[in-house]
């Protein structure tokens, strides 16, 4: 990334963080959509409907990027269609992994058990990087309450030359539940079955009462994030070889 663009974005994020430090999430979202070409990245998971509802109220044609990894629960795919229809979202894009990457590195669909970091790179990180090309900014539903790694989450940050906004950064679980109740929003069916955080089926397990809501993700491994929210990690070159991300 050219240094002047990085410096420009960093200054822009700092100014936005100052201006929207105590602003409602809807205002943060509206300001992000006004920054230029902006995409909302959604997993259509346990809490996703809150941000999607806010976005639909502002602009139902906002591009929503949904990482369809090929490993999701059938319930998530059904819920995605239900939520998009209920909210009137007209531009949900299903982002899939490259067939060539899967052929080369995960022909049996078992890479998640052997090398989950590479699996996430092939099925999430690389497809998202490609899907975000051409966008100036993107929006995520991450929250500070989602574990230590997210405790210091800013509202606006810079990644890959783009502004990345987290309008719900300060929201608690009860804030989200209250919003869903107020607006009578559909719930992901797996939440009631003990899954407060929902990702790919092979890497998501039920969570006991009192456990960290994200403790069911990659349970038994040190891994806590899929990699789409870090500038580091690995990339898969077009020829299929692996390299560290710069
Ligand atoms: S969450 Fe699991 S199955 Fe999904 S991409 Fe990552 S390692 Fe693969």
Query: If residue 66 lies in a helix (H) or strand (E), which one and from where to where?
Result: strand 64-67
Distance CA 46, CA 39 (A): 20
Residue 167 lies in a domain: yes
Pocket test for ligand 1, best of 70, 113, 115, 116 (most atoms within 8 A of CB): 116
Query: For residue 67, what is the domain's CATH number?
Result: 3.40.50.620
Instruction: Give the total number of structural domains in the chain.
Output: 1
Pocket test for ligand 1, best of 77, 111, 119, 127 (most atoms within 8 A of CB): 119
- Note if the pTM is more than 0.95: no
Q: CB within 8 A of 215, min separation 6: which ones? A: 207
Distance CA 66, CA 141 (A): 12
Residue 227 lies in a domain: no
Q: Could you tell me the residue range of the domain that residue 161 belongs to?
A: 5-203
Residue 55 lies in a domain: yes
Q: CB within 8 A of 126, min separation 6: which ones? A: 97, 98, 101, 235, 236
pLDDT in tens, the chain (246 residues): 556 888 899 999 999 999 999 999 999 999 999 999 999 999 999 999 999 999 999 999 999 999 999 999 999 999 999 999 999 999 999 999 999 999 999 999 999 999 999 999 999 999 999 999 999 999 999 999 887 778 889 999 999 889 999 999 999 999 999 999 999 999 999 999 999 899 999 999 999 888 887 788 877 777 777 777 755 434 344 444 444 443
DSSP letters for 102-119: HHHH-TTS-HHHH-HHHH
Residue 60 lies in a domain: yes
Residue 230 lies in a domain: no
Residue 141 lies in a domain: yes
Residue 151 lies in a domain: yes
Active site residue 64: no
Residue 245 lies in a domain: no
């Amino acid at each position: 990334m050219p240094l002047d663009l990085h410096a420009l974005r960093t200054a822009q994020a700092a100014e936005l963080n100052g201006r929207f430090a105590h602003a409602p999430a809807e205002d943060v979202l509206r300001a992000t959509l006004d920054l230029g070409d902006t995409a909302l990245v959604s997993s259509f998971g346990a809490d996703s409907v809150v941000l999607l509802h806010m976005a639909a109220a502002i602009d139902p044609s906002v591009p929503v990027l949904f990482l369809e990894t090929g490993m999701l629960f059938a319930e998530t795919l059904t819920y995605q269609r239900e939520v998009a229809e209920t909210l009137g979202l007209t531009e949900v894009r299903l982002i899939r992994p490259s067939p060539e990457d899967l052929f080369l590195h995960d022909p049996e669909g078992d890479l998640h058990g052997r090398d989950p970091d590479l699996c996430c790179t092939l099925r999430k990180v690389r497809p998202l990087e490609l899907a975000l090309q051409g966008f100036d900014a993107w929006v995520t539903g991450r929250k500070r309450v989602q574990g230590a790694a997210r405790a210091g989450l800013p509202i606006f940050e810079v990644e890959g030359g783009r502004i990345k906004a987290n309008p719900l950064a300060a929201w608690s679980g009860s804030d989200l539940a209250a919003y869903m109740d107020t607006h009578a929003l559909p719930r992901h069916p797996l939440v009631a079955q003990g899954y407060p955080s929902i990702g790919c089926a092979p890497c998501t397990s039920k969570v006991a009462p009192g456990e960290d809501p994200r403790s069911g993700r990659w349970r038994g491994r040190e891994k806590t994030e899929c990699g789409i929210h870090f500038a580091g990690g690995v990339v898969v070159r077009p020829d299929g070889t692996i390299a560290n991300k710069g």
